[in-house]
Amino acid sequence: MRRHFDLTRRSFLGVSAGVLAAAAGVGEAHADDKARPVIKKLGTIDLDLVETSPVVFRSKLHRFEYVRAGYWNNKTGDSYFRFVDRSGAPGPAFAKGCHLGSAAVFDDMAVVTCVNIWDGERVEVFASNDLEKWEQWNALDLKGYGMFNTSLCKSGDEYVLMFEVGKPPEVAGNPFTARFVKSRDLHAWTLTPPECTYSKDRYTAPHCLRYLDGWFYDFYLEAVKGRYEQCVVRSKDLAKWESSPLNPVLRASPEDKQIANEKLSESQREKIKNARNINNSDIDFCQFENKLVINYSWGNQQGVEFLAEAVYDGTEVEFLTGWFPA
């Protein structure tokens, strides 16, 4: 959604009853609709935002945002990160000049991973206990690599970081490919064996990694006949992967263009209405009040991008396992 080289909002289920009613029962058309987890698309909440992560920090729902220099309401001239609370109020900006961030929470510690530049060699880590003061350190410095999106999860007492590589060719194969490192303390990282990738044979841009009961779940972007669909695979060893028989998780549909933020201007609504939509990508989610809050991006996959919200009526455990029925 972000690597073809060629603040006003209502958010976090803050949508009207009309939108909720319209979204009820909305899922992707699929032969196995009765079996697959039903994602209810609520609609667009912002423009020019792509990489975001809904997280629960100290029992409160937040959305981490990577604010690009070209974001419509960014007057700083540079990229930065921030957390937005449920009311839409932004917290302090941090990580000026960093890119393609994602966030996770472990106990009372928020952790953000990112790259220093697009197609860069460095992955940076930011950590905070209050979302205001941030400690920063370098996690990876891989000469000759070109890295993009990251996603962090925890497996037992080990952190596992998925990072997206476009080069070198012997690692990436067909860009853009998931690669993995592990750590016990978020400081010292060990690169997994070279077979731990997904997938070098085609475009499979990764974005969201989760772990549950011995399985890693990689939510990635699949290119299908000129369109881009969010899919999921799972693995026990990060090397051999099983694709969900119910894929895709998300694909472009008219529900993406519903207005889920009443504060969007008429010109913004017109841009949403007229935008070309061939893409659902950059999914991330968290469980909050017995629902899964989902953020994803839609647009033309070449720079015209919108942030949308969706929900799944169930737990994260039910969502993950639901894609792999017995």
Q: What is the pLDDT of residues 127-183, one digit of tens each?
A: 999 999 999 999 999 999 999 999 999 999 999 999 999 999 999 999 999 999 999
Asked if residue 7 belongs to a domain, the reply is no
Tally of structural domains, the chain: 1
Let me know if residue 10 belongs to a domain: no
Residue 3 lies in a domain: no
Tell me if 169 is assigned to some domain: yes
Is 1 inside any structural domain? Answer: no
16 pLDDT more than 60 = no
Per-residue model confidence (pLDDT) at position 98: 98
- What is the pTM assigned to this prediction? 0.91
Helix (H, G, I), strand (E, B) or coil at 224: strand
Reported as a pLDDT band with limits 50, 70 and 90, residue 34 is low
Predicted confidence band at 212 (pLDDT cuts at 50, 70, 90)? very high
Both structure tokens of 211: 């772990």
Confidence (pLDDT) at 7: 32
Residue 84's domain is classified under what CATH number? 2.115.10.20
Q: Rounded CA gap, 159 and 161, in Å?
A: 7
Question: For residue 5, is it within any domain?
Answer: no
46 within domain boundaries: yes
One DSSP character per residue, 1-60 reads: -----------SS---HHHHHHHTT-----TTTTTSPPEEEEEEEEES---EEEEEETTE
pLDDT digits (tens, 9 = 90+) for 237-272: 999 999 999 999 999 999 999 999 999 999 999 999
- Domain of 36 in residue numbering reads as 17-322
